[in-house]
């Protein structure tokens, strides 16, 4: 395995916290390495430290850390009674370990606690596996949007818009139906 790091062993402690200004550089690096899969259709890095700071003026990032350091992130922004999330990124050696799902759960809990009734997100159309990942988490496609002209795309792209209704009741009933919970 690269650098000898295990993917995220069972029992490894994981904490999720809000990003702080001291995290900007490492957060930009994590996002760019996690989004390398977009290089065939988008030119260059996904974000720079200045871009992370701009996002942090409107919302925040939830960061997942383990004993090896920063392992994942997701951007969260309150927009009235709706939440918006984006830039879900997991360090490549941690991908496939369920960390993305944990970050999504944390983001939804954040929005639920803030009184949001729904969560919105958008994905780049060329990221073929992502719609099914989000559908599995209860999101539905709600439309499309144009891709920004200032992003250097190598192939024609658009955004796929997805949303999910959330409420405190749905979180409680979902937990009751999870494996290992009492009914």
Overall average pLDDT of the 172-181 stretch: 43
> What does residue 66 show for φ and ψ, rounded to 5 degrees?
-130, -170
State the pairing for strand pair 14-18/82-90.
Answer: unpaired
What CATH topology corresponds to 13-172?
Aminopeptidase (3.40.630)
pLDDT digits (tens, 9 = 90+) for 125-158: 999 889 999 999 999 999 999 999 888 899 999 9
> What does residue 90 show for φ and ψ, rounded to 5 degrees?
-125, 135
Cα distance between residue 73 and residue 62, in whole Å? 5
Cα distance between residue 102 and residue 15, in whole Å? 10
What percent of the chain shows pLDDT beyond 90? 72
Res 150: pLDDT: 86
Cα distance between residue 42 and residue 157, in whole Å? 9
pLDDT digits (tens, 9 = 90+) for 31-82: 999 999 888 888 889 999 999 999 999 999 999 999 889 999 999 999 999 9
């Amino acid at each position: 395995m690269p650098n000898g790091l295990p993917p995220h062993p069972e029992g490894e402690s994981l904490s999720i916290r809000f990003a702080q200004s001291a995290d900007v550089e490492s957060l930009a690096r994590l996002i760019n390495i996690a989004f390398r899969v977009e290089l065939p259709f988008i030119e260059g890095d996904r974000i720079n430290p200045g871009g992370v700071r701009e996002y942090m003026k409107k919302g925040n990032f939830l960061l997942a850390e383990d004993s090896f350091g920063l392992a994942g992130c997701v951007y969260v922004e309150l927009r009235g009674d709706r939440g918006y999330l984006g830039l879900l990124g997991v360090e490549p050696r941690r991908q496939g370990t369920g960390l993305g799902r944990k970050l999504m759960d944390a983001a939804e809990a954040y929005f639920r606690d803030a009184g949001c009734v729904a969560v919105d997100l958008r994905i780049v159309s060329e990221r073929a596996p992502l719609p099914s990942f989000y559908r599995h988490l209860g999101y539905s496609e709600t439309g499309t949007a144009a891709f920004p002209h200032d992003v250097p795309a190598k192939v024609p792209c658009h955004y796929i818009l997805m949303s999910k209704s959330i409420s405190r009741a749905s979180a409680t009933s979902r937990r009751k139906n999870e494996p290992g919970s009492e009914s």
